[in-house]
Structure 1
Amino acid sequence: MVLKINQETFDDAVKENITEFGMEIGEAIADAVKQYEAQGVDLSNIIKDHMTSLDTESTQELAEALAKLAKFAKSEVSTSVPQILQLLQVVTNECDKGIPNRVYAGKQGAYNIIMDLALKYCLNAEMLVNCFTALKSLMTKQPDLLNESGIQCIGKCLHQQTNPEVLSALLKWVKECCIMHETNRQSIFNAGILEDLKPLLQKVDVSLLRDVLGVLRALVLDDDVRVEFGRSHEHARAIASDTLCSITALLSNFKNDELLINDLLLTISSLLVRTEFCKKVEDAGGLDVIRDTMVVFQSRDKFVRQCFKVLKALAGNDEVKVLIIKKDLAPIITSALSIHKSSSQTATLGLGCIAALTLRCPDNSKALFEAGAPEVIVDCMKLHSDDVNVQKNASWAIRNMVSRSRYQSNKFLEIGVEPILKSNLKKFTHHEFDAKSALRDLGCEVNLKEEWTGSGGLLTTQGKRK
């Protein structure tokens, strides 16, 4: 089992090196890293150099602001709200400077102070917006600060608040709490946040909708290296069951809003963890909207990438995979990939989309072949000859297209795919199977290695037979 430590433990070790052994900050950090790595501790979740850049002026201003806010939070006397808002802005600005300031603020009790203010002024919308904004800044890359009181505050505000600005600030904070923290995700999800988010999907406020979608995506992340097994799949399944039709319907309602459409597609692709969910999207008219909007925003590289992701995910359902091509998406896919083939990211996703659509589906392969897919695939391979992901996905796309449609092989060979694949055998030795599979199905001569052979001897067992 991989050993993990949290940021506080690492920081304490660095401080001990400084105070006990008189080391300089850089030396103290290097020594702490060396000691933990020698013990087999995985430090991938640790920010190692955040203590090197905190200046005295920042700490003083931050400490003074927090001290004043703490008094206001505990005071029973009515306090000037503008003065508190100004101090909260100071905390937000200081935390936004970087992780050293956020860590320092956290150690000065900023989280509890701000939470106390939010509870004390829970009826003041402007105060809540500033409190949640400060909490988001404070907890960026340090979500460990969240506690049960914060989770209860999230549920209460979502259940009671109708002010879109308060909800937007709250959701931005919630999203930050979920990033790289599996325990927070599970606690927030188990507190019933989904029931409070579903009504918000019916709102017409685009900014608020994007914040809701951001939280939904954060709840299905699997990015906490400290946890061996997360519940991203379970969260995605529950969210998709309750919201996927509503989210898909938003594609039609806001088809001219590029940013929201991009977020919707990103969210849909993150929720397609079961084949029946793919059918839900199709039943809700998702394919028609994806096709139409893909045409409208075909010049937008980022948008095209999200479309490729969604289409690849939808192709996980064999029925939907066929319908995608029947909706005349083959020429749109090849055209979009051709337009953005200079981008390695888009090329990788586009080739992966073609590979998924043509897997064990000769009719789809035929449609993409007639739409000019071979030329685009080979162009991508030539443009990104040193990109292993492009070459790997291209090999899959070629293999899937020709494996049940051998007549296509001549076209691929005519446009020069064989020397590229053979070059990849030497260049990407860890992925030679992909290139060999494509060469084999193209009918090229290739040396296929037998992975395992028996010795021809009899199997024996230990002990005597009874």
Structure 2
Amino acid sequence: MSLQITQETFDNTVRENVSEFEMSVEEAIKETIEQFSAQGVNLTHIVTDWMMASSANSLELIDAIRQLNELTSGESMDLQALITQLSIIRAECDKGLNYKVLAGREGAYNVIMTVLCNYDSDVNIVKECLSTLISLMTQNSDLLDDNGIQAMVTLLDTQKDLDVLKLVLIWMKECCVLHEMNRQQIFAADVLSHLKSALHDPNSAVLQEVLGVLRALVLDDDPRLEFGRAHEHARAIASDTLCAITNLLEKFKHDSAVINDLLLTLSALLVRTEFCKKVEDAGGIQIIHDAMNNFQDNDKIVKQCLKVLKALAGNDECKTHIIQRGIAPDIVMLMQQHQKTAQTIIFGLACIAALSLRSPDNSKALFEAGAPDIIIHVMRIHPDNESLQKNGSWAIRNMVSRSRYQSQKFLELNAEEVLKAAAKKFKKSEYDMKAALRDLGCDVELREEWTGKGGKLNTQDKK
């Protein structure tokens, strides 16, 4: 794991370079970056140029925060003046991350929260505050504190305005992205109960934001922490929401945007084999099959359908039932239709690999549906995509490993040539291509990953 430093440490080092070595701000930032990089420090989450903003064109931002502070401390409040200053802060924050960091350092978060709490009954002020908080805290969510989380929960409890609810959910989602501690604290505030209730009587616009928060709560994307609780969150959310989400696929079956979000969320939550069965029991396989047919021209939905089917195939019973429902020909047909879109094809190949794993009957159904032809074809037309080539190798290997009669068909399609070319090009994935060649019966030299030194083991206890 790479070394980490805080934003404060970086900023103090820049200041030292400016004061002690008489560097310009720009020179000091460059020197500090080089210094920490040489020490192996990961600067991914450090804003390296906010001081440039503070030393240049940021007077309007600082002045707006100062005026907002003055307005909140006065006895009488000019609501239009509040909205004006909030909109200025939002516009400045939208200029870039350095402006967001500067605004945070100048106390923007605290003063906006003060306005939000004091005027929580004024929908227009609440909307303006939430919009500004979103601009301020997107990619800058270290600012979130207990007061912010409590405000989120309170607004979800009390607000009926749909626009306000959407903004609260967007704010919550942005605070979860790339921030494990925020995720854990938001989850610990029992937001799941509020999100779950929105799934039972959903408005489509609010529903999409609810689903976005659910997905954000199960992310594992914070490089500052080695371990997170993504799996625990996914398990808890799936236990309470999978059936409702699956039923919503039927309710919104003609709304492509909602269907896409529902499928995205399903695939993020299918982290245990029993959850796959839960989705099937709720009619999920048939609903997904219908979505594949209803939106076969929509690349995004096709990709998500294939991704969910691949996840469901993690349960052996579901894997069998997917093929029994006659989905194999549709998978092949959709891969042919979307053959030029690499990401969709990757999920199609991964789906074939998952469905045929240790399942000769499934492999036979895919074989008869024409899977070998499309597998080799897409590997030929995307020779430079390593992930696609690797997933194609897995699909070939899983199909033929327990159905050796299929090898002849793959060899007739020149699978050996395709796999050898991929193995030569992608050294990191070489083993996957060679394993497929081995299972096809081709001559291939497999490298031993580990060999012992031949020493005699002494298992006697020492006394």
Question: Shorter-chain TM-score category?
Answer: over 0.9
Residues 63 and 331 (structure 1), Cα distance of their counterparts in 2 relative to 1, 3 Å cut: same
- State the alpha-carbon separation in 1 of the partners of residues 180 and 329 from structure 2: 41
- What SS does the corresponding residue of 1:83 show, helix, strand or coil? helix
Q: How does 1:17-416 map to 2 (within 5 A)?
A: 17-52=17-52, 56-57=56-57, 59-77=58-76, 79-416=77-414
Question: Would you say 1:436 and 2:434 are equivalent positions?
Answer: yes
Letter in 1 for 2:16: E
- State the alpha-carbon separation in 2 of the partners of residues 254 and 178 from structure 1: 27
- State the alpha-carbon separation in 1 of the partners of residues 325 and 27 from structure 2: 62
- What SS does the corresponding residue of 1:42 show, helix, strand or coil? coil
The size of the alignment, in residue pairs, is: 463
Contact between 1:358 and 1:400, CA under 8 Å: does it hold in 2?
yes
Residues 343 and 7 (structure 1), Cα distance of their counterparts in 2 relative to 1, 3 Å cut: farther
Contact between 2:356 and 2:399, CA under 8 Å: does it hold in 1?
yes
- What SS does the corresponding residue of 2:199 show, helix, strand or coil? helix
Residues 148 and 23 (structure 1), Cα distance of their counterparts in 2 relative to 1, 3 Å cut: same
* Partner residue, 1:465: 462
Contact between 2:119 and 2:125, CA under 8 Å: does it hold in 1?
yes
- State the alpha-carbon separation in 2 of the partners of residues 10 and 4 from structure 1: 11
Q: Shift of residue 52 of structure 1?
A: 4.4
Residues 336 and 18 (structure 1), Cα distance of their counterparts in 2 relative to 1, 3 Å cut: farther
- State the alpha-carbon separation in 2 of the partners of residues 49 and 312 from structure 1: 43
- What SS does the corresponding residue of 2:125 show, helix, strand or coil? helix
Q: Render the CA deviation track for 1:222-252: whole Å, top value 9, x for unaligned.
A: 1111111100000000000011111111100
Q: Shift of residue 46 of structure 1?
A: 2.6
- What SS does the corresponding residue of 2:323 show, helix, strand or coil? helix
Contact between 1:203 and 1:209, CA under 8 Å: does it hold in 2?
no
2:419 to 410, 418, 421: 421
- State the alpha-carbon separation in 2 of the partners of residues 89 and 140 from structure 1: 16
Question: Would you say 1:11 and 2:3 are equivalent positions?
Answer: no
Contact between 1:17 and 1:23, CA under 8 Å: does it hold in 2?
yes
Letter in 2 for 1:133: S
Letter in 2 for 1:465: K
- State the alpha-carbon separation in 2 of the partners of residues 96 and 210 from structure 1: 23
- State the alpha-carbon separation in 1 of the partners of residues 37 and 8 from structure 2: 17
- State the alpha-carbon separation in 1 of the partners of residues 54 and 259 from structure 2: 40
Q: Shift of residue 286 of structure 1?
A: 1.2
- What SS does the corresponding residue of 2:321 show, helix, strand or coil? helix
Contact between 1:351 and 1:394, CA under 8 Å: does it hold in 2?
yes
Moved more, 404-413 or 1-10: 1-10
Letter in 1 for 2:290: D
- State the alpha-carbon separation in 2 of the partners of residues 298 and 22 from structure 1: 63
- State the alpha-carbon separation in 2 of the partners of residues 253 and 39 from structure 1: 55
> Once superposed, what is the RMSD of the aligned Cα atoms?
1.8
Q: Shift of residue 25 of structure 1?
A: 3.9
- State the alpha-carbon separation in 2 of the partners of residues 53 and 290 from structure 1: 49
Q: TM-score, normalised by structure 2?
A: 0.96
Moved more, 230-239 or 330-339: 330-339
Q: Render the CA deviation track for 1:49-102: whole Å, top value 9, x for unaligned.
A: 455466744x1221222122112222332x232221222111111111111211
Contact between 2:53 and 2:102, CA under 8 Å: does it hold in 1?
no
Q: Shift of residue 164 of structure 1?
A: 1.3
Letter in 2 for 1:42: N
Q: Render the CA deviation track for 1:136-170: whole Å, top value 9, x for unaligned.
A: 10001111000111111112111222221111111
Residues 20 and 452 (structure 1), Cα distance of their counterparts in 2 relative to 1, 3 Å cut: closer
Identity across matched positions, percent: 54
Letter in 2 for 1:353: C
- State the alpha-carbon separation in 1 of the partners of residues 233 and 65 from structure 2: 37
Q: Shift of residue 7 of structure 1?
A: 3.0
Structure 2 residue ranges without an equivalent (≥5): none
Contact between 2:71 and 2:78, CA under 8 Å: does it hold in 1?
no
Contact between 2:47 and 2:101, CA under 8 Å: does it hold in 1?
no
Residues 11 and 337 (structure 1), Cα distance of their counterparts in 2 relative to 1, 3 Å cut: farther
- State the alpha-carbon separation in 2 of the partners of residues 410 and 52 from structure 1: 65
Contact between 1:168 and 1:208, CA under 8 Å: does it hold in 2?
yes
Residues 340 and 461 (structure 1), Cα distance of their counterparts in 2 relative to 1, 3 Å cut: same
Q: Shift of residue 363 of structure 1?
A: 1.2
- State the alpha-carbon separation in 2 of the partners of residues 47 and 341 from structure 1: 41
Q: Shift of residue 457 of structure 1?
A: 4.2
Structure 1 residue ranges without an equivalent (≥5): none
- What SS does the corresponding residue of 1:204 show, helix, strand or coil? coil
